[in-house]
Structure 1
Amino acid sequence: FSKIFERITYNRMLEFITKYNIFADTQYGFRKGKSTETALLDFTDYIHEGLTNKHNVGSVFMDLSKAFDVIDHSIIETKLEHYGFRGIFLNFLMNFIKERKYFVSVNGLKSEINTVNIGVPQGSTLGPLLFLLYINDMKNCSKILKFIQFADDTTILYSHSNIAQLKTILEAEANKVINWLSANKLIINFTKTHSMLFTNKRGNLKLLLKLQSINLEEKSETSFLGVIIDNKLTWKQHVQFIASKISKSIA
């Protein structure tokens, strides 16, 4: 019964969110009419437009550490109320989120019962929706960046004709995003976060971004929403990857 009730709650929330157009247009995850395909299309369109205008496009692929597990309950309560979830319904949602109990069982032996005071339940129907509302205002921290978000994956882009200026501006704006994450008690994983420069200019050009005094790894190709992308948008590596998978399946 609890799963059915949770699904009903999810549907009612989604109806409300859709009716009042609450979700940011930068979010493509868990949304009707949005998908990895539309996110990829928006991503490549922005880059193509920049390159067509003889600009260089810098991007930062951000990775969050255990995003669902570190959501602050007081912050999400404030955000839910801001988006119009109030009264009895808000109390129900917070009871669903707060003070969840767990124990570990190994070979019939059970640990003490502990209380979880942060995060939203993974594997639940409501968990992803609550997370999307939690990060919904992220794009407000920058007026000039292009955001592509799919659940907890966030990619930011910026276009400029001068690479040195691109580096300076992208560093400043990316640090605003990191400050927003910190204020919302989300943790960026710098070991998996990396940058990429898209340019038509010749030579081995690099952005060499430094965020929060950390030198960011720069890649010439990366996996983005299941597709291998290179900094020239040739798709060669992805085509080779798919061809290899097909050849193995029919061998």
Structure 2
Amino acid sequence: MNFNVLGPVGVSVHDKQVSLGSARQRAVLSALLLTPGQPVTPEQLTEAVWPRRAPDAAMANLHSYVSNLRRTLEPDRPPRGRDNVLRREAAGYVLAVEPESIDAVRFERLMQEGRRLLVAGMPRKASRPLERALALWRGGAHPEVSDYTLGAQVAARFEELWLLALESYWEAELAEASDTSVIAAELSALSFRFPTRERFSWLLMKALWHSDRRAEAIDTYHRTRRTLADEYGIDPGEQLQKLFRRILCGDLMTERR
């Protein structure tokens, strides 16, 4: 059984998707997956599912959602048998699943492995786990509970990890590429989508530079500088400025990393 939280919550068994019921019921599962293996109180679940104002029948509805999820997650459990996946303990409800069954856990492990290989100077080896991590991303984490404080915090954290994985992947690809024109096209889209993310601009400038598109690399720097000034009143960081100076000098013989 695999649980997906990078994008709309989902459960699959042997690669077959399982129906999770109503939107509120899916929100209950998403909230439990914020802290798998740890107890979540009914009050916390209520706040996650109804972050603005819970109805009078919230607890009754919550019990119904949990009961339905138990039948979904353990369809072969005998009547009155022990709940092994979604248990009720003294401190609250516990979703007892293997960490590796959750796509977010696998994503973070693969991202960290790729980053470690990249920092160690092995970009070719780094590309594979980073590519596998990015393939798991179907959208922002836990959208069902995005208005719940903890859900928003977890989503923001994984958004940052996703951006870091993207930057690391394209850095690894750029380090090994003999033709950087295709990479430049991908990075151009990312740079426009995330205009204040300096690392994308840095990578794009390098890709353009090594594609003999020096003028476009210079234009990328100035566009980023204007955006940072307009949005935050700051100048580009030292790394971006250093690369800009190298491009102005036409220092194409400098190592590419």
TM-score, structure 2 length as denominator? Answer: 0.30
TM-score, structure 1 length as denominator? Answer: 0.30
Choose between structure 1 and 2: higher strand proportion: 1
The structure, 1 or 2, with the larger RCO (C-alpha pairs under 8 Å, 6+ apart) is: 1
Choose between structure 1 and 2: higher helix proportion: 2
